[in-house]
């Protein structure tokens, strides 16, 4: 059993968490990593009923649409909440005094940051571990790899969901060696290079993990030193995006070419992770797990992704572009249906992320956010 930080006293919530955790624990066996539509349908509708009952601002919004537990038949009809709403509202399905942890979106101290309040980290960790291992290490035992993180650990950045994810993986996957190289906002490049060179001399595969922007800094340092490395066979790179609000940005193809050149890791072994603070689960490129198939984002069986037309609020056909809407059963304590600010398209059993919303594409998301905030304001009067 995964460790729980607080026992929830609501019997309906305990039942939901128990059933979803059981699914996540089963998924540690590859043979059980299969989509189960009936199971997802039942659990997602049960989550909607619970969250409608216990999150007042969400319930007010759902009545306004109107879509309530009595009026919908499918998980696809569950009302989604724009991620922008987490910057203004505390969207939880538990009493606020039960919160034990808060994850915050990145941003300057002057900007309002989105917040995910949690009364337990149990589902978050239970979801991330098998998903992380399956998509980043399908072909090698993590115990045979060194894991080096271009990020702060959870102790230094307790409100970062990415740091928590990396720290949880480092603690629970038993890498040959693991180390974090971002301290007090500074990338410890000399120490990183030393560890990489030691791994090369010992022929130990390396998993190098960080945000795209941290890799840009690392590449700058390698170029200044006129240094190119050839990491051992089996090495891989995980980059998590993270350019938003930054002054420099590379297209993915250009970044991957530079990473291949300076670390000796082929682009086939560079994986992008797609996630966000407001979600309990993450999605990963498919290239290590299914190298012969088109690259796409894949997630765990307890998630679903739709591409939505911003004007009609309806699902677009596979292959057509729409706004990404994510359903995540790891979010029992908040809301399971989230409208992202990203556009993409479905590809087979996964999806492709094409960028952020611009112009007219934001209209549907903005209208939904405004409606949610308006209903909440009316309720407070």
In order, the DSSP letters of 338-367 are EEEEEEEEEETTEEEEEEE--GGGGHHHHH
The domain of 50 spans 17-97+302-381
Q: pTM to 2 decimals?
A: 0.90
Tell whether 116 is covered by a domain: no
Same domain, 26 and 168: no
Q: How confident is the model at residue 336 (pLDDT cuts 50, 70, 90)?
A: very high
Q: For residues 370 and 91, what is the distance between their CA atoms, to the nearest angstrom? A: 15
**Residue 21 clears pLDDT 50, i.e. is over it:** yes
**Residue 125 clears pLDDT 70, i.e. is over it:** yes
pLDDT, tens only, 153-202: 999 999 999 999 999 999 999 999 999 999 988 999 999 999 999 999 99
Higher pLDDT, 295 or 356: 295
**Residue 6 clears pLDDT 70, i.e. is over it:** no
Helix (H, G, I), strand (E, B) or coil at 301: coil
Residue after which a domain boundary falls, among 237, 271, 293: 293
**Residue 354 clears pLDDT 80, i.e. is over it:** yes
**Residue 366 clears pLDDT 70, i.e. is over it:** no
Residue after which a domain boundary falls, among 293, 314, 331: 293
Q: How confident is the model at residue 28 (pLDDT cuts 50, 70, 90)?
A: confident
pLDDT, tens only, 30-74: 889 999 999 999 999 999 999 999 999 999 999 999 999 999 999
Q: How confident is the model at residue 365 (pLDDT cuts 50, 70, 90)?
A: very low
Q: What is the pLDDT of residue 96?
A: 87
Q: How confident is the model at residue 106 (pLDDT cuts 50, 70, 90)?
A: confident
**Residue 3 clears pLDDT 90, i.e. is over it:** no
DSSP secondary structure string for all residues of 188-242: -HHHHHHHHHHHHHHT--EEEEE-HHHHHHHHHHHHHTT----PPTT-EEEE---
Residue 129 sits in a domain whose CATH number is 3.40.50.12780
Q: What is the pLDDT of residue 10?
A: 86
Same domain, 323 and 272: no
Residue after which a domain boundary falls, among 244, 270, 293: 293
Q: For residues 138 and 352, what is the distance between their CA atoms, to the nearest angstrom? A: 21
Q: For residues 53 and 62, what is the distance between their CA atoms, to the nearest angstrom? A: 11
Same domain, 246 and 270: yes
pLDDT, tens only, 236-289: 999 997 545 444 567 888 999 999 999 999 999 999 999 999 999 999 999 999
Same domain, 263 and 316: no
pLDDT, tens only, 74-98: 999 999 999 999 999 999 999 989 9
Q: For residues 206 and 360, what is the distance between their CA atoms, to the nearest angstrom? A: 43
Share of the chain above pLDDT 90, in %: 80
Specify which residues 310 forms β-bridges with. Answer: none
Same domain, 274 and 379: no
Same domain, 32 and 134: no
Same domain, 265 and 354: no
Tell whether 103 is covered by a domain: no
Q: For residues 147 and 166, what is the distance between their CA atoms, to the nearest angstrom? A: 10
Helix (H, G, I), strand (E, B) or coil at 283: strand
Q: State how many domains the chain has.
A: 2
């Amino acid at each position: 059993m995964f460790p729980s930080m607080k026992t929830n006293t609501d019997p309906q919530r305990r039942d939901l968490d128990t059933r979803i955790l059981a699914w996540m624990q089963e998924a540690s066996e590859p043979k059980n990593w299969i989509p189960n539509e009936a199971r997802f349908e039942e659990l997602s509708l049960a989550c909607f009923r619970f969250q409608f009952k216990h999150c007042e601002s969400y319930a007010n919004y759902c009545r306004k649409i109107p879509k309530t537990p009595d009026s919908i038949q499918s998980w696809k009809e569950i009302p989604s909440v724009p991620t922008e709403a987490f910057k203004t509202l505390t969207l939880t399905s538990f009493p606020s005094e039960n919160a034990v942890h808060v994850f915050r979106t990145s941003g300057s101290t002057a900007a309002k940051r989105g917040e995910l309040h949690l009364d337990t980290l149990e589902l978050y960790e239970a979801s991330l571990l098998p998903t992380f291992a399956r998509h980043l290490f399908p072909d090698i035992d993590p115990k045979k790899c060194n894991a080096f993180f271009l990020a702060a650990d959870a102790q230094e950045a307790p409100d970062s969901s990415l740091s928590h994810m990396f720290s949880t993986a480092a603690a629970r996957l038993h890498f040959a060696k693991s180390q974090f190289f971002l301290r007090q906002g500074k990338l410890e490049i000399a120490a990183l290079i030393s560890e990489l060179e030691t791994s090369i001399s010992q022929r130990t595969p390396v998993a190098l993990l960080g945000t795209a922007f941290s890799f840009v800094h690392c590449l700058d340092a390698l170029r200044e030193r006129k240094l190119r490395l050839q990491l051992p066979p089996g090495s891989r790179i995980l980059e998590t995006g993270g350019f938003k609000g930054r002054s420099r940005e590379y297209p993915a193809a250009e970044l991957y070419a530079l990473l291949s050149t300076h670390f000796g890791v082929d682009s086939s072994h560079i994986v992008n992770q797609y996630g966000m603070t407001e979600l309990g689960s993450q999605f990963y490129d498919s290239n290590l797990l299914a190298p012969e198939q088109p690259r796409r984002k894949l997630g765990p069986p307890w998630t679903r992704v739709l591409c939505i037309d911003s004007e009609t609020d309806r699902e677009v056909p596979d292959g057509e572009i729409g706004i990404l809407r994510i359903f995540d059963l790891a979010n029992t304590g908040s809301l399971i249906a989230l409208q992202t600010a990203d556009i993409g398209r479905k590809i087979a059993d996964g999806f492709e992320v094409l960028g952020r919303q611009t112009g007219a594409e934001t209209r549907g998301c903005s209208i939904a956010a405004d409606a949610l905030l308006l209903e909440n304001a009316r309720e407070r009067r």
